[in-house]
Amino acid sequence: QVQLVESGGGSVQAGGSLRLSCAASGYTYSSYCMGWFRQAPGKEREGVANMNSDGSTSYADSVKGRFTISRDNAKNTLYLQMNSLKPEDTAMYYCAAAWPFRRYSCTHRREGDFGYWGQGTQVTVSS
């Protein structure tokens, strides 16, 4: 059974930083494509970043240069380092793992690539 548990959210002032973590269990984590998504109140969920099984990454334009996705396969953990945070980054952030048929390559632009989701962690950025 795949389980994803996010942590690291919180409240921060604009310009600050946070690092989100996603602890994975129940599958061969290191070979799976993973991603981060977010959903602000009243808005649809949007993709933020993804990391393929080969380590290649892709980012939404809105976070490029500020956010960094990484993984520690020894710890079965995915990270999202968020720097230069803006009020518009305020959202619930979700970790996701790709469906098995997308486990080598997925994209944050296609939510259907992801079949396993965490419960989310709240990030609030004040101006």
Q: What is the pLDDT of residues 24-56, one digit of tens each?
A: 998 776 678 999 999 999 999 999 999 999 999
Average pLDDT over residues 81-99: 97
Q: How confident is the model at residue 57 (pLDDT cuts 50, 70, 90)?
A: very high
Contact 121, 22 (CB under 8 A): no
Mean pLDDT confidence for 62-87: 96
**In 3-state terms, what secondary structure has residue 87?**
helix
Indicate whether 118 pLDDT > 80: yes
Amino acid at 7: S
